């Protein structure tokens, strides 16, 4: 789990984008851990949200993840 969290953060911090679809995070983890299961990656992303490192960004119809403090961080 900690490895997945690290991979997610490395991808998020190294990217120019500020918001990520879950699939982006999934791909980033699977690059290092090809056998990683989607549900476990989701659990890792959820933990990062609960810890306050990642945030959910919702448009209402689809949801993305963002790094707290980057891009839109407060109400627009």
Partner 1 sequence: MAFEPKNEQKELKYEELRIYTDEELNNYTEEELKNFKFKHDVPDLDDLEKGPWPSFVSDAKQEALHRHKLADDRLMTAKDSVDDLMGALQLSFDDGETHWKHGGIVGVFGYGGGVIGRYSDVPEKFPGVTHFHTMRVNQTSSKFYDTDFLRSLADLWEYRGSGILNMHGSTGDIVFLGTTTDQLEPIFYDLTHELGVDLGGSGSNLRTPSCCVGKARCEYACIDTQDLCYEMTQFYQDELHRPMFPYKFKFKFDGCPNGCVASIARSDMSFIGTWRDDIRIDQEAVKAYIAGESAPNAGAHGGRDWGKFDIQKEVIDLCPTNCMCYEDGELKIDNSECTRCMHCINVMPKALRPGKDTGVTILCGAKAPILEGAQMATMIVPFMKAEAPYDNIKELIEKVWDWWMEEGKNRERLGELIQRFSLPRFLDIMELPPAPQMVKEPRSNPYIFWKEEDVKGGWNRDINDYRSRHKR
Nearer to partner 1, 16 or 62 (CB): 62
What is the distance of C-alpha 76 from the center of its chain? 21
Binding residue count for partner 1, defined by CB under 8 A? 26
**Footprint (CB under 8 A) of partner 1, residues 6-45:** 21-23, 38-39, 41-42, 45
Helix, strand and coil percent figures for the chain, each rounded to 5: 50, 15, 35
φ, ψ for residue 35 (rounded to 5)?
-90, 5
User: Smallest distance, Å, CB 72 to partner 1?
Assistant: 6
x-or-dash string of contact with partner 1, 51-70, rule CB under 8 A: ----xxxxxxxxx--x----
């Amino acid at each position: 789990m900690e490895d997945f969290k690290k991979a997610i953060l490395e991808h998020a911090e190294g990217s120019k984008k500020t918001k990520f679809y879950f699939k982006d995070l999934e791909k980033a983890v699977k690059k290092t851990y090809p056998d990683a299961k989607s549900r476990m990656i989701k659990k890792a992303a959820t933990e990062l949200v609960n810890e306050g490192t990642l945030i959910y960004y919702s448009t209402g119809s689809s949801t993305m993840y963002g790094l707290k403090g980057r891009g839109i961080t407060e109400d627009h």
